[in-house]
Amino acid sequence: MKKRNIVILLTSLAISGQVLAWGQNGHRITGAIAQKYLSPEAQIAVQQLLPNEDLAEASTYPDEMKSNPSEFWQKTASPWHYVTVPAGHSYHDVGAPAEGDAITALDKYTKILKDPKASIADKQLALRFVVHIIGDLHQPLHVGNGNDRGGNSVKLQFFWQDSNLHSVWDSGLIEQKELSYTEWTDWLSKKISPEQAEQWMVSDPLVWMSESATIRDSIYPKTDKLSYDYLYENMPIVKQRLQMGGLRIAAYLNTIFSK
């Protein structure tokens, strides 16, 4: 029985490794940045749906619920955290698999948020998923190439600890700085100029995916021992994707809740 449980645990970890995007802090950073750029209409709508919860808290909900044993969380929602776009192709070329992906889920929950007949509970879930998925799509390895499980199969050492490329981009690079999500949010928000905010507030998921795919193809390391050099080279990308992710969450919600 113990051996069987270990096998189940390892299988679960292997599956979940594919679908986790920014770690808890990464998602919270994008949610907290988004909160600052919501339109008055969107602010009211979010407050009405989640009266005791800001977007930073809402952003991690779909990952936290992966421990729920229901079929919805264990199977149905699992593919909704990523898309697959092989190098040299666009999302239009490949489309979504039968089980769906981040784009089909984003479309599904956008429709629920716009549906005046949808229940409050359904809209609350929809809002949490929308915030989370947009964050996911700004983590470059969540627009996978279809060959290595979003970098999970690329085994390496990060600062002398066993890891993989996906995990490094989920949380390793962010956590290496030893900052809280509020410190990250404060520092990154101050560095977004009005011109950048206007330029980056794009609500088209195809644009976000294209950006991530381009970045993805440039971040595979030439060595399996990553430390300060890799951190130095890629931290500017991480910071910008977090900033962009926050702005795009706001842009998307502003569009949904516009009168």
What pLDDT digit, counting tens, does each position of 225-244 carry? 999 999 999 999 999 999 99
Give, in degrees to the nearest 5, the angle at Cα 202 between 199 and 206: 130
Segment holding 163, helix H or strand E: strand 161-164
- Whether the pLDDT of residue 217 is over 50: the answer is yes
The domain total for the chain is 1
> Over 90: is that where the pLDDT of 142 sits?
yes
Q: For residues 135, 138, 140 and 143, what is the CA-based torsion angle, rounded to 10 degrees?
A: 80
Mean pLDDT value across residues 52-73: 96
DSSP class of residue 77 equals S
Instruction: Enter the tokens of residue 58.
Output: 């809402």
pLDDT > 90? residue 55:
yes
Average pLDDT, the chain: 92
Is 10 buried (19+), middle (13-18) or exposed (0-12) by CB count in 10 A?
exposed
Return d(Cα 156, Cα 247) in angstroms, integer: 32
Residue 14 has pLDDT above 60, yes or no: no
pLDDT at 18: 42
Q: Determine the Cα–Cα distance for residues 43 and 247; give it in Å rounded to an integer.
A: 14
Read off the CATH number of the domain in which 8 is found: 1.10.575.10
pLDDT, tens digit, 9 for 90 and up, residues 109-130: 999 999 999 999 999 999 999 9
Cross-strand partners of 183: none
Q: What is the pTM of this model?
A: 0.91
Neighbours of 96 (CB within 10 A): 16
Band the pLDDT of 19: cuts 50, 70, 90.
very low
pLDDT per residue over 203-212, tens digit each? 999 999 999 9
Find, among 242, 256, 227, the residue nearest to 34 by Cα: 242
- State the average pLDDT over residues 127-140: 98
So what's the pLDDT on residue 20? Answer: 54
Count of CA atoms in the C-beta half-sphere (13 A) of 11:
7
Q: What is the pLDDT of residues 166-182, one digit of tens each?
A: 999 999 999 999 999 99
Rounded-to-integer distance, Cα 39 and Cα 247, Å: 12
What does the radius of gyration of the chain's CA atoms come to, in whole angstroms? 18
DSSP 3-state assignment of 118?
coil
pLDDT the model gives residue 181: 97
Quick one: CA torsion of 125, 127, 145, 147, rounded to 10 degrees?
Answer: -20
Name the residue range of residue 247's domain.
Answer: 2-256
Residues 81, 53 contacting (CB under 8 angstroms):
no
What are phi and psi for residue 226, nearest 5 degrees?
-105, 135
3-state secondary structure of 162: strand
The pLDDT score that the predictor gives to residue 21 is 64
Backbone angles phi, psi at 52, to 5 degrees: -120, 30
CA neighbor of 59 nearest in space, from 104, 83, 26: 26
